[in-house]
Chains A and B, each alone.
Chain A
Amino acid sequence: MTNDNIQIPTVAEMAAKGEAPEILFWVGCAGSFDDRYKAVTKAFVQILNNVGIKFAVLGPEETCTGDPARRAGNEFLYQMQAMANIQVLDGYGITKIVTACPHCFNTLKNEYPELGGNYEVIHHSELLQQLINDGKVGLKEGGTFKGRKITYHDSCFLGRANNVYEAPRKVLEVLDAELVEMKRCKTNGLCCGAGGAQMFKDAEPGKKEINVERTEEALGTGADTIAVGCPFCMTMMADGVKNKEKEADVKVKDLAELIAEAEGLL
């Protein structure tokens, strides 16, 4: 099987043709390299293709935003990354960015302006919500999610850090599934344990892993799908489900995957 008709233009290719994208899809390192999250990148690109948005990616020109370095204390490295990225983005005249990583989202949106990089930045849940509102994304009759339970795990960098709580939930509403909230949700949501560069080291000694604590809460809702909107949350929750030996019954899925699946794109 091939998907030859899928378009994944790079900004460089577009620029060569004298064109510019409406919106840049910032893939992020996890979306580019992590096997599990690459599936999310692909699902999102298929949705973008399906609705016909004029998007582009940086492709090989994209590099780490610097977020993990910054949270771990290495401001030099963060600023080196940020400055280099801003030069590339400004070189192409990018004005609008969408990303499926809340950490990239937060850094691009809130932290690049102080270094001279000013863009309109949205999280992919917000773009999906817009597409739903515009009637461009919707569920086909008799969706596979009807009657099933989904719980949504808030990403800290999307939720508390940037007050994006509604968009992911609006996206899930389209699935016609029953959205069951965990007790700790929205502003009180419990972290998956990976933020602040924890993704890149072992946890300090304690009595429990944070992702196990959070997964137990998610499993407690009785949902068969744990929806996430962040690559780190994805890894942590999937590991948690594995730890609880529930991977046969409970799936951890990104919002874009759920939408692509519901639209029959996968």
Chain B
Amino acid sequence: MIAQLAFLVVLGIFGFLIFRRIQRIKQNIHLGKSQEINDRKDERLKTMLLVAFGQKKMFKRLLPAFFHFLIYAGFILINIEVLEIVLDGLLGTHRLFAPFLGSFYTVLISFFEILAVLVILACVVFLIRRNIFKLDRFHKIEMKGWPTLDANLILVIETVLMLAILSMNAADQVLQTHGAEHYTQTGSFLISGFMVPMFENMSTSSLLILERSAWWFHIVGIFAFALYVTYSKHLHIFLAFPNTYYSRLEPKGKMGNMPEITNEVKLMLGMPADDSVAPPVEGMKFGAKDINDLTWKNLMDAYSCTECGRCTSECPANQTGKKLSPRKIMMDTRDRMEEVGDSLAKGGKGLEDGKSLLGDYVTKEEINACTSCNACVEACPVNISPLEIILQMRRYVAMEESGSPQSWNMMFQNVETNFAPWKFAPTDRFNWADELKSPNA
């Protein structure tokens, strides 16, 4: 009874904390500009199933895709066991599902144990890859400090949680042979069965403590980890799904239009303007300087990023030593969002703190180096677009600051006066035809 109450309290605290954190993330995402995305629902669902659920883009790199899939499958399926654990905790039962499922229960738990071992294997492989082989993309400048620790923590915590399940099951089996009260006979589990000899010589009372500790450690660990995830890059395990649902379905080459500019251009050209578009208001910004100038989708992108760095490793600018890293753009966007969100929650200045995404986090040198080649967009396993953010910032620099590189300003001038990006006389545009007709003239 006390255990049930304790569990209820733990579950309550966890529920409260996670709810509060989800609210915060939602608020932060809503700092972005509104954008309606509710078309082509079938295509969106299909994209989500293929890309998030089916991990389609992960498989562009087979080896990490395979190990990642083990952890992903383990995460989803072992959750069925977590459901049982939560129900046991609430109802004061033990292995609630066992009597209903009979011998199938043993098969099911054995299957989960295989998954647990595979998860441990994958985590160890990933830890080795990060820390011993030192894969280049995990050691770029933006990965210094917290991002690297975060990645390692996740892998270690997952390993420990899986070990807890196995220890709990092993102790459970020994308790069953001791005939301890409440411990339903399940037969031997496939993996933890091998761990039984480690616990056989222990007394029933020590085993009880061990099994209960492992049980509590596992479930509280899972709650704590779930909460941690919302502060970590690991949030992708949830946001990958909505983020791919709201994917950009247009051709990657298409840049979003700015209707507020279209009306001004129409007026300048003496064409009838579109009344449905609100006229530019005082203080309105063109392009993006800070997170509230981006759309909510850009901000959701940032929360969905798990810092795998496939974008950066495919980026031609980054590969040739430029400062631009698409992953850093996403990490900066997220960090700025968190900064503003924290400040607002404390009654602080929020967006008016004198800082901004462009300038304090991202530099012009970074955004100017982008070739808009879409390699980062293509590479992202959860359909994030760093390119959209980069181009929005370029718009701010060009239209609000007139701060584009000098050569670009020259190009603008050429387009305005010569109708070509180079300084050629417009009257020479058709000379090639004469050259073709009389090559030697």
Q: Using CB atoms and an 8 Å cutoff, list the residues of chain A in contact with chain B.
A: 1-4, 6, 8, 10, 27, 29, 31-34, 38, 41-42, 45-46, 57, 59-60, 62-64, 66, 68-77, 79-81, 83-84, 87, 106, 109-111, 114-115, 156-157, 160-163, 187-188, 190-191, 193-210, 213-214
Contacts and interface: CB of A to CB of B under 8 A. Distances in A.
Nearest to A232: B371
A8 B415 contact: no
Given A79-B262, A191-B375, A200-B408, A206 B320 contact: yes
Contacts of B426: 60, 63
Given A1-B440, A73-B391, A75-B395, A210 B371 contact: yes
B354 interface: no
21 contacts: A8-B436, A38-B432, A60-B426, A60-B429, A68-B415, A69-B412, A69-B421, A71-B394, A73-B398, A74-B412, A83-B269, A84-B269, A106-B254, A110-B250, A111-B257, A114-B257, A115-B262, A156-B372, A190-B375, A193-B320, A200-B410
B405 interface: yes
B373 A32 contact: no
B94 interface: no
B415 A69 contact: yes
Given A4-B437, A156-B371, A73 B316 contact: no
A20 B89 CA distance: 79
Nearest to B252: A161
Interface of B: 60, 250-255, 257-258, 261-262, 264-266, 268-269, 271, 286-287, 314, 316-317, 319-324, 365, 368-375, 377-378, 391, 393-399, 404-405, 407-408, 410-412, 415-416, 419-422, 424, 426-433, 435-441
B369 A77 contact: no
B264 to A, nearest CB: 8
Query: A-B pairs with the 8 shortest C-beta distances?
Result: A161-B253, A73-B398, A196-B372, A207-B321, A73-B394, A206-B321, A63-B419, A191-B373
Given A29-B422, A74-B412, A75-B286, A3 B439 contact: yes
Given A33-B424, A208-B321, A72 B269 contact: no
Nearest to A2: B438
A71 B391 contact: yes
B369 to A, nearest CB: 4
B134 to A, nearest CB: 19
A29 B420 CA distance: 6
Given A79-B265, A110-B253, A115-B262, A207 B320 contact: yes
B404 to A, nearest CB: 6
Given A73-B398, A160-B378, A207-B320, 10 more contacts: A60-B427, A63-B419, A72-B398, A72-B404, A111-B257, A160-B377, A197-B408, A202-B407, A210-B320, A214-B316
A193 B251 contact: no
A165 B323 CA distance: 30
B251 A161 contact: yes
Contact of A80 (B265, B365, B441): B265
Contacts of B441: 2
Given A77-B412, A213-B320, A110 B254 contact: yes
B262 A32 contact: no
A204 B325 CA distance: 13
A38 B439 CA distance: 12
Contact of A200 (B269, B393, B421): B421
Contacts of A81: 415, 419
A213 B316 contact: yes
